[in-house]
Amino acid sequence: MIFSEHLLTVITFLPTLGALVLLLVGGKGEAVDNLARWIALAFTLVTAALSLWLWALFDPANTAFQFVENFDWIGDTIGYRMGVDGISVLFIPLTAVLMPAVVLTSWGSITKRVKEYLIVFLVLETFMIGAFATLDLALFYVFFEGTLIPMFLIIGIWGGARRIQATYKFFFYSFTGTVLMLLAIMAMFWQAGTLDIQQLLKFRFPPEVQTWLWIGFFASFAVKMPMWPFHRWLPEAHVEAPTGGSVILAAILLKLGGYGFIRFSISMFPDASHQFANFVFVLSIAAIIITSLIALVQTDMKKLIAYSSVAHMGFVTMGIFSGNIYGIHGAIFQMISHGIVSAALFLCVGVVYDRMHTREISAYGGLVERMPRYAFAFMVFTMANVGLPGTSGFIGEFLTMLAVFQVNTWVAFFAAFGVILSAAYALWLYRRVIFGALTKESLKGILDLDRREIAVLVPLVVLTILFGFYPAPILDATAASVNLVAENFANAIGAAPQAVAAAAGH
Amino acid sequence: MLSDVSSFASLAPAYPELLLAAGAVAVLLVSLFWKGVRSGVIATVAILLLVAVLALLVLQPATGALFNHTFIVDGFARYMKALVLGGAAATVLISLSGSKAHGIDKFEYSVLVLLATLGMMIMVSANDLMSLYIGLELQSLALYVVAAMKRDDAKATEAGIKYFVLGALSSGMLLYGASLVYGFTGTTQLDQIVAAITLESRSVGLVFGMVFLLAGIAFKISAVPFHMWTPDVYEGAPTPVTAFFAAAPKVAAMALFIRVTTVSFGPITKDWQQIVIFLSIASMVLASFAAIGQNNLKRLLAYSSIGHVGFALVGLSAGTAVGVEGVAIYMAIYVAMTVGIFACILALKTEDGAPVETITGLAGLAQRKPFVAASIAILMFSLIGLPPLAGFFAKWQVFLAAVEQGLFVLAVIGVLASAVSAFYYLRIIKVMYFDEPVAKYAAVPGELTVVMAGIGFLIVTYFVTVGAPLTAAAQAAAGSLF
């Protein structure tokens, strides 16, 4: 069927089409803003539906890339190449499903330049989906780096009081890291003679070259992820961004880093990944413990959740660089789960922020008396953030710790502290915001979730609990590809010492 | 000796130049004798002439060497000339509406622009140190006058004098270098110099001459450390003139630089490579930092153009066909972005007609003039080199060439410099989008809207529309030199 052959292209560029339609909407005023919101919602919903269809059509048993489109485009270097395998396929529905939620939040929280807001978000969606769907390294860079433009504007225009510093910091951390990856990409082109990811995955880079390429990619992904100590941009960006921006940043953009580690670092530079694994473990442990401790002392809700994101990403990097099947599987699961949970937590903060216009934890307390439904939703997501069994947060953390236990017991030992600490800061946040007596005058009139907010949060609650009890949809879709990645990694690092030994024997 | 010019038809490769020369003289005569003709009409005729020459150039595929091999037309020359003509025509077009306000509503302006363009075309086609110098001087002399055209303006006069004095100095260096090169190789013809050079037996005198020759040309592309005139001239000259300076002459000088290095000094690539790498790094780094403190838009764009020359030279540093292809693509995109950004600046006037030339004057532009602000924002993101905009693909090709040749230090410094340069480009976006508006702006002339929309469209859709054909054209152009 022709349509399904180009499904990835359609999903990727449909949001851009929506942005173009929005450009045609003229005029000002409440009615025009609402029209723009409905148009954006329609486009994001159709994209989401198509992305779920993609997931349905995806054959999990097949480890090759599917829905492949492949032709040369600019000269003999850059091609237009699309395709997904088990590693990337789930990130596309994740992105597409969260976007309608972002558009829905624009009703309550965005009042100025609404049309522009929706346009940049739709463009951003194209870049994000494109980055996961492309099979050309240069095109990956284009999509990956392209996200900076809309995000810079989102934080800078619709952000909070200190938005300018935050958006500059975000931009420069990301840009500086990513240009180094650009040079690594170019070096790969001259080494392998192609930018086609399918062929690059089969190409064996010499180990000493791998080291440099790995560093180039690491510079980019470690910032994006973000790994400690490259995380400094994240708390500020999160705090200042509007709710929709925080959601996308935490749920999708951070995942680009994790996806990149699996797709490129582990798969294309296995020797270097093995060599640097302990280094990554140290940074991951540092992220898990240090940022969890920092999260404990935060007074701003968004900042607390932002730091907890860094900590959770520590589990992801730890799992990926354990290099075994549980670790990579767990990392992907953790990323999907964190995508849902952190998005939901930021949406929850957005709900009370829209009412009270403050994110100070001390400004709240006893919300359960006025907002029972909100308290329930917030509880589910807090528990998932802690990693309580029965929520999606548990499975990823469990698998990554299981994986790293095989490789290095001490790393697993220290990572376990992260689980304890996350319970501490998340539950303490919940207690301070939701429980206690409702003494503050300003909170006496606060209203519970309205219909729109329920429509946003209920699907996320369902998904959080569903994947906690029944993770099979995610694990099945990824299993075969993860297996292949882990196998290749094991073969590569297993082969390397043998090659050295053989060379020494001569 | 006219032996190789047996008939008019044999001059076919030079038809575009002949048409432009005849046209420039005709325009001059008509405007001298037809009193009372409005300068706008002359300027329009000049644009049409430039477009006609461009059409002739494109439709007339004859190549070959003429005039005792002093004048060569190859794929590379045709590509670069197309850029020169396009840049020149576009910059005259965008200056139409503001010519009175900027004091250039004189017919001499159009004539001088035509003559300067003719000089550039000769530079691009020069295959001899003599024709090289003639083209360069024809261009420079016309530009000196244009820079100082607004005689009663102290800044413009200062700019003209500065440009003239430093330009004369650079011509002197170039001539000195040319004489040494001639002395040590026995020929002035660029493609014969190469036959007299071998890497093993090169003499110090030849390298010395080459350094001076390249220094002279480096003045014209304003590569650091020969850039001092650029910020002052850009700021002092009337904005339409600055726009003209920033686009076409840079392309012509860059083409000359490429031809001299790759054609004449091919065997001693290792020697000039060091020079180009130095120029490149110095330009990128200095421009990135020096531009941060600027508040005058034109001064900022001067540093920006210095930086972009540095990035283009990254491609030439590689000394390969891939590198020259990169420079060719880079210059095409650079011209488009330059024309676009100057169209935006020329479009901005406050309600009382004063031009907006400071960054702070752009505050809140996005709310008052969303279209202009969006155009500037797209151009700024493109100048930074962010994908998917055209500026990224320009940088892509030049850095690709540098990485191929293992010039990793240059490449790393280059990309980090581009990160620094992002700072000042982003500041403009910040001022336009994040700050609150203060000034009110006058309506934007129609032709500027068209130019902004057209260039904005090409830059945003580069990957889809022009990317593939432009790359193919640049590849063919570079191929004709190697």
H or E stretch covering A78: strand A78-84
Query: Quick one: DSSP state of residue B199?
Result: S
pLDDT band at A181 (very low <50, low <70, confident <90, very high): very high
Interface test with A, best of B365, B427, B434 (most A CBs within 10 A): B434
Burial of B410 (0-12, 13-18, 19+ CB in 10 A): buried
Å from A464 to nearest chain B CA?
A: 35
Report phi then psi at A136, rounded to 5. Answer: -115, 130
pTM for the whole thing? 0.91
Q: What is the DSSP string of B425-476?
A: HHHHHHHHHHSPP---BPPPPHHHHHHHHHHHHHHHTTTTTTHHHHHHHHHH
Structure confidence by residue, pLDDT tens digits, A412-452: 899 888 888 988 998 888 888 888 887 777 777 788 888 88
Residue B135 near residue B119, CB atoms below 8 Å: yes
* Among B residues 377-416, those touching chain A with beta carbons less than 8 Å apart: 381, 386-388, 392-393, 396, 399-400, 403-404, 408, 411-412, 415-416
Average pLDDT score, chain A: 88
Structure tokens at B165: 């004095």
Give the residue, A133 or B190, on which the prediction is more confident. A133
Percent of chain A with pLDDT over 90: 40
Is there a contact between B400 and A77 if contact means CB atoms under 8 Å apart?
yes
Which residues 6+ apart lie within 8 Å of B36 measured at CB? Answer: none
pLDDT band at A39 (very low <50, low <70, confident <90, very high): very high
pLDDT confidence of residue A503: 45
Beta bridge partners of A360: A300
Report phi then psi at A360, rounded to 5. Answer: -65, 130
Is there a contact between A74 and B426 if contact means CB atoms under 8 Å apart?
no
pLDDT confidence of residue A502: 46
**End-to-end CA gap in chain A:** 56
pLDDT band at A494 (very low <50, low <70, confident <90, very high): confident
Nearest to A218 by CA among A268, A172, A271, A257: A257
pLDDT of B272 over the 70 cut: yes
Alpha carbon distance B288, B282 (integer Å): 10
Instruction: Count how many pairs of residues, chain A against chain B, have C-beta atoms within 8 Å.
Output: 81
Burial of A485-503, coded b for 16+ CB within 10 Å and e otherwise, reads bbebbeebbeeeeeeeeee
For chain B, helix, strand, coil in percent to 5 are 75, 5, 20
Percent of chain B with pLDDT over 90: 47
Lowest mean pLDDT among A178-192, A423-437, B125-139: A423-437
Nearest to A158 by CA among A101, A120, A215: A120
Percent of chain A with pLDDT over 70: 97
pLDDT confidence of residue A501: 45
Beta bridge partners of A84: A66
Residue B437 near residue B364, CB atoms below 8 Å: yes
pLDDT confidence of residue A2: 67
Is there a contact between B475 and A75 if contact means CB atoms under 8 Å apart?
yes
pLDDT band at B6 (very low <50, low <70, confident <90, very high): low
pLDDT band at A496 (very low <50, low <70, confident <90, very high): low
pLDDT confidence of residue A186: 92
pLDDT of B50 over the 90 cut: yes
pLDDT of A504 over the 50 cut: no
Structure confidence by residue, pLDDT tens digits, A377-400: 999 999 999 888 888 888 888 899
Residue B113 near residue B177, CB atoms below 8 Å: no
Alpha carbon distance A465, A461 (integer Å): 6
pLDDT band at A136 (very low <50, low <70, confident <90, very high): very high
Structure confidence by residue, pLDDT tens digits, A285-341: 998 999 999 989 988 888 999 999 999 999 999 999 998 889 999 999 999 999 999
pLDDT of A358 over the 80 cut: yes
Mean pLDDT calculated for residue range A94-110: 88
| Residue B219: C-alpha distances to residues B17, B205, B216, B222, B312 (Å) | 25, 21, 5, 5, 15
- B460 touches A: beta carbon within 8 Å: no
Å from A64 to nearest chain B CA?
A: 27
Give the residue, B4 or B246, on which the prediction is more confident. B246
Cis peptide before B225 (omega within 30 of 0): yes
Mean pLDDT calculated for residue range B249-267: 91
**Chain A residues with CB-CB distance to B311 below 8 A:** none
pLDDT confidence of residue A69: 87
**Chain A residues with CB-CB distance to B426 below 8 A:** 152, 168, 171
Which residues 6+ apart lie within 8 Å of A160 measured at CB? Answer: A166, A239, A240, A241
Is there a contact between A73 and B468 if contact means CB atoms under 8 Å apart?
yes
Structure confidence by residue, pLDDT tens digits, B310-322: 999 999 999 899 9
Å from A178 to nearest chain B CA?
A: 10
Nearest to B326 by CA among B340, B338, B312: B312
Q: Give ipTM to 2 decimals.
A: 0.90
Burial of B145 (0-12, 13-18, 19+ CB in 10 A): middle
**End-to-end CA gap in chain B:** 30
Q: From A165, which residue of chain B is nearest by alpha-carbon distance?
A: B430
pLDDT band at A495 (very low <50, low <70, confident <90, very high): low
Which residues 6+ apart lie within 8 Å of A28 measured at CB? Answer: none
Rank A439-453, B98-112, B157-171 by mean pLDDT and report only the highest.
B157-171
Is there a contact between B422 and A182 if contact means CB atoms under 8 Å apart?
no
Percent of chain B with pLDDT over 70: 99
pLDDT of B459 over the 80 cut: yes
Residue A310 near residue A338, CB atoms below 8 Å: no
pLDDT confidence of residue A491: 87
Rank A161-170, B328-337, B444-453 by mean pLDDT and report only the highest.
B328-337
Dmax over CA atoms of chain B, in Å, equals 69
Q: From B408, which residue of chain A is nearest by alpha-carbon distance?
A: A183
| Residue B89: C-alpha distances to residues A282, B19, B317 (Å) | 60, 15, 30
pLDDT of B282 over the 60 cut: yes
Q: From B416, which residue of chain A is nearest by alpha-carbon distance?
A: A176
pLDDT confidence of residue A13: 92
| Residue A100: C-alpha distances to residues A346, A378, A392 (Å) | 15, 20, 21
Structure tokens at A280: 């990554």
Half-sphere exposure of B375 (CA within 13 A, CB side): 28
Report phi then psi at A13, rounded to 5. Answer: -100, -5
Å from A190 to nearest chain B CA?
A: 6
Mean pLDDT calculated for residue range A36-41: 91
pLDDT of A500 over the 50 cut: no
Report phi then psi at B465, rounded to 5. Answer: -95, -80
